[in-house]
Amino acid sequence: MNEFEWYVPTDKEHWAQTLQLPTAPENATLLQGFEWYVPADKKQWVRLEKHLPGLKRWGVDNIWLPPGCKGSSNQTNGYDIYDLYDLGEFDQKGSVATKWGTKEELLSLAHTAKKNGVGLYWDAVLNHKFGADHREKCQAVEVDPEDRTQEISEQYEIDAWVGFDFPGRGDEYSRMKYHWYHFSGVDYNAANKKKAIYKIIGERSTGWAQTPDVDAEKGNFDFLMGSDLDYSHPDVERDVLAWGKWLASELPIRGFRFDAVRHFSVDFLRKFITQMDELNKDGWFFVGEFWKDSSADMRDYLDRMNHRFSLFDVPLVKNFSRISQGEGHLRDVFYETLVQSDPHHAVTFVMSHDTQPYQAVETRIEDWFKPLAYALILLREDGYPCVWYGDLYGIDPAGEHPFPPSCGGALPKLMLARKLYSYGRQPDYFDDDTCIGWVRYGTWDRRFGCAVVMSSAGPGVKRMHIGEMHAGEVWTDVLGWQTHEVVIEADGFGYFSCDKTSVSVWVNDAAEGRERFSEEFDTNIYDM
């Protein structure tokens, strides 16, 4: 039997029963539900709830929410976390609401998401705290910022912002109060107003976590910012584990995105995940931000996490950036990436709040390349793709750094093409430095498939095989950028083209769902 004889274009339920063919799982797409410059108007939960039905229709299955715990200010994004147990419920740090809204609005969003079959992932910021309520004196030494294992001062007393009483919340949900001995380091001494990296020392403090429990960059990368939590202290471990259980009881979330996992204890994170798995027999999705351009280091981290975890594929984004700026070949786009070496634990993305313009790890990807990059993560079989809010909706036109939706408006169509047609085996045509293509053959129950071709230089064309069962069919580009038709030859081949520095996605013109590509995606998320 050749590779195409399994396909029988008759009643699919009959053939599923007769041949006992498995049903193809539906492709899932993740949306990062924010960008760095979302207005601090406390309306983001409301905006997302309003747009949930439309997002689901265009192929979004899960949304990564921004950090919803109270930060040090109601103007900030929550990575400067103050109180894990305040989801916009208590009058602390300037308001009841967080930058994103109130707890009541968050619960309403969660209800609507569940009703629409959209999962929510919580952005857990567990490495540090900001916005302490009072200072405390403690002993510390300064360390070399480039090698935190090297002490560059004698031990002396500092006045550190490490006292957390949570006066607005009191003892509601947790009685835990934080003191100097719950932290391993700080970055400011109020006694002399000096900024430095201070390692806290004392009988009740153990200093930095050891490598490889934290990453070994800069000698020891335990400290990142603010007041660094010490997970070797039983009070800290107990409180944050209790928070995980509490959050799961408050919100119907499906998973967690963990911030800055290189900087805090792997051992603790394993305990956290084990605990959460015991709470939910249906399973959670866990993904970590491991910002390092090394797939080898990523695989090592996944080994230590017993592969009960995924990571964002930073090396892939670096490749996108280089190729978009004329460095390297398109055919090598997956070279030394996580999705290439461990596709089941790679979350692929093009841009995020960290890499967008004007941010600390800004990673420039030229506008012309973004449709290609999104096709590479959305229309291939490997990896779990994450679409960025700023590319889908643009950056607020009334804000400081506005720009329109990317991909010339084609991103929703790429998402929809993933949901409808990107199934089955995947022959690759990576036989040219600047023009590549691939085919998805489809499955018995999602039989239409697709053909993708892209070029990083001049106009491109690929003769690709999509199967004799499609002979005589007329295929067209769902993006509408190629306006001619391709008639599939008797041997199952067709000539599929794209414009220069562009991409095209070819599907049977009579395929189920083709009419949906003429609909308009609502990008007016700020029109309330």
Q: Which residues are catalytic?
A: 259, 289
One-letter amino acid for residue 485 of the chain? E
- Tell me if the bond preceding 212 is cis, omega within 30° of 0: yes
Burial category of 346 from C-beta neighbours within 10 Å (exposed 0-12, middle 13-18, buried 19 and up): buried
What ranges make up the beta strands (E) of 92-152?
119-124, 128-129, 134-144, 147-151
Q: Which of 351, 334, 261, 331 is nearest to 298 (CA)?
A: 261
Whole-angstrom Cα distance, residue 428 to residue 437?
6
Whole-angstrom Cα distance, residue 175 to residue 195?
31
- Phi, psi for 525 (deg, rounded to 5): -75, -20
Other CB atoms within 10 A of residue 13 CB:
8
CA distances from 310 to 255, 290, 406, 516 (A): 11, 10, 26, 32
Whole-angstrom Cα distance, residue 223 to residue 213?
13
State the DSSP code for 164.
B
Burial category of 306 from C-beta neighbours within 10 Å (exposed 0-12, middle 13-18, buried 19 and up): exposed
Q: Which of 445, 347, 516 is nearest to 6 (CA)?
A: 445
One-letter amino acid for residue 55 of the chain? L
Q: Is the CB of residue 448 less than 8 Å from the CB of residue 508? A: yes
Instruction: Give the H/E segment covering residue 184.
Output: strand 183-189
Q: Is the CB of residue 462 less than 8 Å from the CB of residue 438? A: no
Three-state DSSP string of 383-427: CEEEEEHHHHHCECCCCCCCECCCHHHCHHHHHHHHHHHCCCCCC
Q: Coil, helix or strand for 205?
A: strand
Given strand 435-440, what is the order of strands in its sheet? 428-429, 435-440, 450-455, 503-508, 474-477, 486-487
Whole-angstrom Cα distance, residue 294 to residue 177?
38
The distance from CA 436 to its chain's CA centroid, rounded to whole angstroms, is 26
Q: Is the CB of residue 178 less than 8 Å from the CB of residue 129? A: yes
Q: Which of 259, 251, 226, 139 is nearest to 191 (CA)?
A: 139
Whole-angstrom Cα distance, residue 184 to residue 221?
12
What ranges make up the beta strands (E) of 190-317?
194-201, 227-229, 255-258, 285-288, 310-312
Structure tokens at 315: 């090396």
One-letter amino acid for residue 281 of the chain? K
Structure tokens at 474: 């007329």
